[in-house]
Amino acid sequence: MTYKLSILTISILAVLVGCTSPPTPSMEWSCRNITTEISCQEGICDVALTGDFTPMELTLDADGGLSLCAYSGCWSGRAEKVSTAGNYFSVIGIGLPWSGTNGTSADISVMLNMETMVATLLTHDYAHPMICKVS
81 Cβ neighbours under 8 A, 6+ residues apart: 90, 91, 92
- pLDDT on residue 102: 85
Residues 6+ apart with CB under 8 A from 75: 66, 67, 68, 69, 93, 96, 97, 98, 99, 105, 106, 108
- Contact between residue 126 and residue 109 where contact means Cβ atoms under 8 Å apart: no
The distance between the two most distant Cα atoms of the chain, rounded to a whole number of Å, is 79
Residue 117 has pLDDT above 90, yes or no: yes
Q: Looking at residues 26-55, what average pLDDT do you find?
A: 93
pLDDT in tens, 5-26: 454 444 443 443 444 433 344 6
Q: Reduced to 3 states, what is the DSSP secondary structure of residue 124?
A: coil
Query: What is the reported pLDDT for 103?
Result: 84
Whether the pTM exceeds 0.95: the reply is no
User: Quick one: average pLDDT of 79-85?
Assistant: 96
Give residue limits of the domains in the chain.
26-134
Average pLDDT of the residues in 75-96: 96
User: Using 50, 70 and 90 to split pLDDT, how confident is the model at 124?
Assistant: very high
